[in-house]
């Protein structure tokens, strides 16, 4: 019976969500924002995995904004290829005045790919709409993603194929959207097994990168610094995904969008937000984040560190205004990227700080490693956010500096020196997930 089928699906989905939150197999190894409410784990094409914003090292007069979605893409997933969802709206937001509301928004809408013989229908056309102060302009249409990296026969010379995905927009910025190697790295299996670090305190390597070999879908923009800049030179950025609302009794109403996922700082929803508020957190705009501040003030990770490393403790478990500053308002002391008293979860980038190294070569500990061009000043691909988060929760900003980490310090493959920076994905044909069967007569 149909009702039974629904119950069956519900359980399947709930359990799959739960399982994703636990195991490290193909669907479990996912980017930093994947241990989420079951519902978001069930909708990978609307799952924001990581957001990045940094001044482009190779073009320092521009800022790169990246929205990664779809966790844990197995390159050999055919025939179930990954694409952007044609019914979703993908959003990149910039807040220029610290009020937690978007001042510039970019909306990305993708069409379903046309299934062609060998590309699995993974090449999609898309439109970019930019909204500034309520005024909406289409800045790109008929743009094309590259197909997914299927293999040398279906998608030969993938690198040049993919680079054709870098296209200009009418407002002078540049765009790319398509499959990429997941730039995130970390021993998520250990991190979510009560921070079961494999070696020492995780500062001497030895971790297992659960994201190696997996892909994501990247939406990247490169815009002139001048487009975002303001008197304070600090801007906030976050990403989100919306799906259209639907009603049983449908009329000819206009599409009304509901935000189902969002991401500013990494690891927030999975580490700080309690289960019963995860859907709500995902649906909220940073301007309304005050209601969640108490969870930033008392992170459970601090309690965990006290159990894990009693010899280094005590770690402060409550009243963590230092974390609220890093994640919710920007840092005032040291003066780095403060945007005012409004608590809002955004990546905050001080545009007056020049890039310090080519892409991938900045200090992985960012600001904690005295490299002011890294997280929590914006976020670069190479920023080791799990280690930084552990150290920050450990009290790095309140005179409690400890060499904590997960034992994985960098991505498994190098990033590209130029836009869109994230590396080509492994192909389905020669991905690293399988192993060759020995030849025999």
Find the shortest distance in angstroms from Cβ 124 to other proteins: 11
Candidates 119, 132, 161, 277; binder of other proteins (CB under 8 A) is 277
Candidates 52, 54, 82, 315; binder of other proteins (CB under 8 A) is 82
Q: Tokens representing 56?
A: 């482009």
> CA quadruple 35, 37, 42, 43: dihedral positive or negative?
negative
Is residue 268 near other proteins by the rule CB under 8 A?
no
Residue 123: half-sphere exposure toward Cβ, Cα within 13 Å: 19
Find the shortest distance in angstroms from Cβ 430 to other proteins: 15
Find the shortest distance in angstroms from Cβ 218 to other proteins: 15
Edge-first strand order for the sheet with 62-73 is 48-55, 62-73, 215-224, 174-181, 167-168
Query: What CA dihedral angle connects 144, 145, 149 and 151, to 10 degrees?
Result: -10
**CA gap 31, 211 in Å, rounded:** 7
Nearer to other proteins, 13 or 357 (CB): 13
Is residue 428 near other proteins by the rule CB under 8 A?
no
Find the shortest distance in angstroms from Cβ 66 to other proteins: 20
In 3-state terms the chain splits into helix, strand, coil percentages (rounded to 5) of: 25, 20, 55
**Closest by CA position to 394, among listed 404, 384, 385:** 404
Find the shortest distance in angstroms from Cβ 193 to other proteins: 9
Is residue 435 near other proteins by the rule CB under 8 A?
no
**x/- binding map, residues 1-40, to other proteins, per CB under 8 A?**
xxxxxxxxxxxxxxxx-xx-xxx-xxx---------xxx-
**CA gap 272, 296 in Å, rounded:** 6
Place of tokens 């060499």: 403
Candidates 31, 35, 46, 109; binder of other proteins (CB under 8 A) is 46
Find the shortest distance in angstroms from Cβ 307 to other proteins: 12
Residue 362 near residue 356 (C-beta atoms within 8 A): yes
Candidates 83, 149, 239, 427; binder of other proteins (CB under 8 A) is 83
Place of tokens 């159990």: 307
Nearer to other proteins, 88 or 162 (CB): 88
Candidates 135, 153, 250, 254; binder of other proteins (CB under 8 A) is 250
Candidates 36, 67, 74, 181; binder of other proteins (CB under 8 A) is 74
Q: 86 to 125, contacts with other proteins by CB under 8 A?
A: 86-88, 112
Q: Which residues make beta-bridge pairs with 181?
A: 215
Nearer to other proteins, 275 or 311 (CB): 275
- Using alpha carbons, list the distances in angstroms from residue 131 to 93, 139, 212, 238: 10, 10, 36, 15
CB-based burial label for 439 (10 Å; 0-12, 13-18, 19+)? exposed
Is residue 244 near other proteins by the rule CB under 8 A?
yes
Find the shortest distance in angstroms from Cβ 434 to other proteins: 9
Find the shortest distance in angstroms from Cβ 68 to other proteins: 14
Q: How many residues bind other proteins (CB under 8 A)?
A: 65
Nearer to other proteins, 112 or 398 (CB): 112
**Closest by CA position to 410, among listed 187, 179, 149:** 187
3-class DSSP state for residue 235? strand
- Please work out, in degrees rounded to the nearest 5, the angle formed at the alpha carbon of residue 82 by the alpha carbons of 147 and 55: 70
Candidates 117, 133, 134, 248; binder of other proteins (CB under 8 A) is 248
Nearer to other proteins, 9 or 354 (CB): 9
Is residue 147 near other proteins by the rule CB under 8 A?
no
Q: What is the DSSP string of 351-391?
A: TTSPP-SSTT-S-TTGGGGT-TTSTTBSB-TT--HHHHHHH
Nearer to other proteins, 261 or 342 (CB): 261
Nearer to other proteins, 80 or 333 (CB): 80
Nearer to other proteins, 187 or 242 (CB): 242
Residue 410 near residue 211 (C-beta atoms within 8 A): no
Find the shortest distance in angstroms from Cβ 225 to other proteins: 35
**Closest by CA position to 110, among listed 130, 89, 95, 126:** 126
Where do contacts with other proteins occur on this chain (CB under 8 A)?
1-16, 18-19, 21-23, 25-27, 37-39, 42-46, 70, 73-74, 76-77, 79-83, 85-88, 112, 243-250, 258, 260, 275-280, 282-283
């Amino acid at each position: 019976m149909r009702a039974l089928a629904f119950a069956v699906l519900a359980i399947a989905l709930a359990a799959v969500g739960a399982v994703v939150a636990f195991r490290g197999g193909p669907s479990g190894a996912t980017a930093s924002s994947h241990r989420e409410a079951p519902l978001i784990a069930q909708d990978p094409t609307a799952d924001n995995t990581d957001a990045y914003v940094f001044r482009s090292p190779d073009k320092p007069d521009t800022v790169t904004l990246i929205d990664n979605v779809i966790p844990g893409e197995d390159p050999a997933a055919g025939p179930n290829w990954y694409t952007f969802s044609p019914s979703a709206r993908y959003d990149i937001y910039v807040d220029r005045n610290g009020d937690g509301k978007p001042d510039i928004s970019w909306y990305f809408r993708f069409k379903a790919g046309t299934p062609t013989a060998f590309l699995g229908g993974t090449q999609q056309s898309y439109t970019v709409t930019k909204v500034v102060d309520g005024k909406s302009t289409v800045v790109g249409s008929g743009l094309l993603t590259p197909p997914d990296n299927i293999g040398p026969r279906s998608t030969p010379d993938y690198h040049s194929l993919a680079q054709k995905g870098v296209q200009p927009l009418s407002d002078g910025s540049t765009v790319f959207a398509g499959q990429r190697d997941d730039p995130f790295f970390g021993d998520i299996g250990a991190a979510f097994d009560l921070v079961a670090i494999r070696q020492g305190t995780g500062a001497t390597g030895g971790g297992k990168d659960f994201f190696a070999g997996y892909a994501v879908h990247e939406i990247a923009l490169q815009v002139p610094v001048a487009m975002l800049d303001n008197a304070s030179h600090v801007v906030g950025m976050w990403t989100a995904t919306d799906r259209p609302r639907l009603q049983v009794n449908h009329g000819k109403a206009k599409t009304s969008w509901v935000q189902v996922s969002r991401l500013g700082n990494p690891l927030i929803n999975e580490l700080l937000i309690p289960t019963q508020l995860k859907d709500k957190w995902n649906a909220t705009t940073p301007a309304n984040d005050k209601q969640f501040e108490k969870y930033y003030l008392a992170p459970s990770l601090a309690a965990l560190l006290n159990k894990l490393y009693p010899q280094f403790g005590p770690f402060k478990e409550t009243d963590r205004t230092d974390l609220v500053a890093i994640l919710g308002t920007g840092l005032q002391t040291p003066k780095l990227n403060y945007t005012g008293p409004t608590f809002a979860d955004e990546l905050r980038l001080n545009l007056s700080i020049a890039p310090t190294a080519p892409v991938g070569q900045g200090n992985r500990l960012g600001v904690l490693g005295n490299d002011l061009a890294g997280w929590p000043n914006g976020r670069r691909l190479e920023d080791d956010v799990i280690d930084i988060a552990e150290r920050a929760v450990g009290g790095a900003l309140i005179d409690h500096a400890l060499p904590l980490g997960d034992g994985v310090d960098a991505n498994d493959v190098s990033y590209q020196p130029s836009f869109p920076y994230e590396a080509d994905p492994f192909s389905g044909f020669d991905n690293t997930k399988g192993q060759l069967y020995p030849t025999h007569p």
